[in-house]
């Protein structure tokens, strides 16, 4: 108990009591501790797929059904969504929205609200397929916001000003045709009819945006997933858009390194992307099953945003055949999560090749060199870590397992800054 109180006090001193950043592109001065705090609650089943920080509250989404406070004896039924106090780990018991399907994406909104994306059809008994905006105080739907997808789900959300971006395998929002990516009015949910990236997926089942990242200034957006074209131009699995104006404009930036295949059963092997806090580069993470130093399967890779035309990665870090799902770039580190066993492993093939280092389930990469940092808290691997979110005071990690930093942490934990 003493360690819990000390840790909570340290977070207050670090400024957690104020308004906290909710985006993953938050600068951190150093690598986080390898010892997670002791007071975060536990999801008792399923998988944590999304995390958003809204003021002093952490909102968590996924496929779980029940949660419990650290050290508590009572379990709370919270299908797909729950929230807790960032300082103490205590559950926000008033936040109990009735969601009838998985939550895959969260984004902090203004006025103590959160945007929710997923595979649900209703929220609090009202039709709200795939998209909703909720009060963090009460869990109620925010009046005036109405948005719905036609089918599929919403897998990724991003907000800048009054613009809300949604990505997934849908083909329309509010009846307006939008393949995989839409920009909405963040207040009303209305589709921005002038903004259409015209994503296409030739020779694939359908367009599917797996993840996206907005540059810190909100001017560029990188979308990754089952994509072959954007605005009529070839863009293999990754498209960079200039989103600063009223229309989607294809940036004079492209890469062809993801044109090569990995496992033939995969229409896309890109799984995550995040911008650096200064917007000068972004990092992608992939699955793929096929290993080798000449492939982009099962890798993390840094790309510079400066310059025009064709780009190659600045560096590539290989796991040696294990999937990476999530990435968070903080300036001092590039954190990656999945079910990997190793990093620095270009010659591994589901094996530990020459020079490989053990980094089970989670690891950190040096932003400049692309080599694994010494940070190695470990995580029980499972299917993988699906959510990594940096804040000014630490790093949240969400997954499908209950061992993090060699301690019990049910599917969510937080590594504090030292």
Q: Specify the pLDDT at position 106.
A: 98
Least confident of 72-81, 136-145, 367-376: 72-81
Give the Å distances, CA to CA, from 415 to 34, 51, 256, 377: 6, 14, 36, 9
Domain ranges of the chain: 20-36+99-416
Determine the pLDDT at residue 222.
98
320 dihedral zone (left: phi>0; alpha: psi -120 to 50; beta)? left
Give the range among 2-16, 31-45, 347-361 with minimum mean pLDDT: 2-16
Mean pLDDT value of segment 239-247? 98
CA–CA dist 119, 108 (Å, integer) = 19
Q: Does 374 score more than 60 pLDDT? A: yes
Whether residue 23 has pLDDT greater than 80 = no
The whole-number pLDDT of residue 25 equals 64
What dotted CATH number matches 20-36+99-416?
2.130.10.10
Over the stretch 389-402, which tens digit does the pLDDT of each residue have? Answer: 999 999 999 999 99
Mean per-residue pLDDT, 134-161: 97
For the chain, give the mean pLDDT: 93
Give the least confident one: 27-31, 127-131, 195-199, 262-266. Answer: 262-266
pLDDT band for position 32 (cuts 50, 70, 90): very high
The fraction of the chain above a pLDDT of 90, given in percent, is 90
Residue that wins the pLDDT comparison between 14 and 30: 30
Q: Which of 155, 189, 162, 159 is nearest to 53 (CA)?
A: 159
- Which tokens is 335 given? 């954190």
Regarding beta strands 309-310 and 253-254, do their DSSP bridges make them parallel or antiparallel, or are they unpaired? parallel
What pLDDT, on a 0 to 100 scale, did the predictor assign at position 21?
Answer: 36
**Helix, strand, or coil (residue 265):** coil
Position 16 scores a pLDDT of: 44
What local confidence, expressed as pLDDT, does residue 261 receive? 86
Q: What is the pLDDT of residue 20?
A: 35
Contact 30, 415 (CB under 8 A): no
The predicted-structure confidence for 114-143, as pLDDT tens digits, reads as follows 999 999 999 999 999 999 999 999 999 999
For the chain, the first-to-last Cα distance in angstroms comes to 19
Residue 145 pLDDT greater than 70, yes or no: yes
Q: In Å, how far are 65, 343, 376, 380 from 362, measured between CA atoms?
A: 25, 10, 7, 9
Q: What share of the chain is helix, strand, coil (3-state, %, to 5)?
A: 5, 40, 60
Q: Give the pLDDT score at 406.
A: 96
What does the pLDDT read at residue 9?
40
| pLDDT digits 0-9 by tens, 293-317 | 889 999 999 999 999 999 999 999 9
């Amino acid at each position: 108990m003493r360690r819990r109180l000390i840790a909570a006090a340290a977070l207050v001193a670090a400024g957690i009591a104020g308004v906290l950043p909710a985006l993953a592109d938050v600068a951190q001065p150093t690598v986080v501790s390898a010892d997670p705090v002791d007071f975060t609650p536990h999801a008792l089943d399923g998988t944590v797929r999304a995390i958003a920080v809204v003021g002093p509250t952490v909102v968590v989404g996924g496929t779980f059904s029940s949660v419990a406070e650290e050290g508590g004896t009572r379990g709370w039924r919270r299908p797909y969504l729950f929230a807790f106090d960032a300082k103490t780990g205590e559950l926000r018991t008033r936040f109990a929205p009735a969601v009838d399907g998985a939550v895959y994406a969260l984004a902090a909104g203004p006025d103590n609200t959160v945007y929710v994306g997923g595979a649900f059809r209703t929220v609090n008994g009202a039709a709200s397929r795939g998209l909703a905006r909720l009060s963090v105080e009460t869990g109620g739907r925010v009046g005036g916001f109405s948005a719905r997808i036609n089918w599929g789900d919403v897998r990724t959300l991003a907000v800048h000003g009054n613009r809300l971006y949604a990505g997934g395998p849908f083909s329309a929002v509010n009846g307006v045709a939008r393949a995989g990516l839409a920009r909405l009015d963040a207040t009303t949910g209305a589709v921005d009819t002038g903004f259409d990236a015209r994503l296409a997926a030739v020779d694939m089942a359908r367009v599917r945006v797996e993840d996206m990242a907005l540059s810190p200034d909100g001017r560029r957006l990188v979308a990754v997933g089952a994509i072959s074209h954007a605005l009529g131009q070839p863009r293999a699995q990754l498209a960079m858009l200039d989103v600063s104006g009223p229309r989607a404009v294809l940036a004079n930036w492209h890469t062809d390194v993801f044109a090569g295949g990995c496992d033939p059963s995969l229409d896309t092997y890109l799984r995550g992307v995040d911008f650096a806090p200064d917007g000068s580069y972004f990092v992608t993470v992939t699955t793929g099953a096929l290993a080798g130093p000449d492939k982009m399967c099962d890798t993390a890779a840094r790309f510079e945003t400066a310059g025009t035309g064709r780009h190659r990665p600045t560096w590539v870090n290989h796991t040696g055949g294990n999937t990476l799902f999530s990435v968070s770039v903080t300036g001092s580190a590039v954190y990656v999560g999945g079910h990997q066993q190793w990093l620095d492993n270009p010659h591994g093939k589901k094996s530990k090749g020459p020079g490989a280092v053990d980094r089970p389930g989670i690891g950190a990469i040096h932003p400049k060199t692309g080599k694994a940092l010494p940070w190695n808290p470990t995580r029980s691997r499972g299917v993988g870590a699906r959510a990594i979110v940096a804040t000014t005071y630490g790093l949240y990690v969400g997954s499908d397992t209950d061992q993090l930093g060699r301690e019990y942490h049910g599917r969510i934990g937080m590594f504090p800054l030292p």
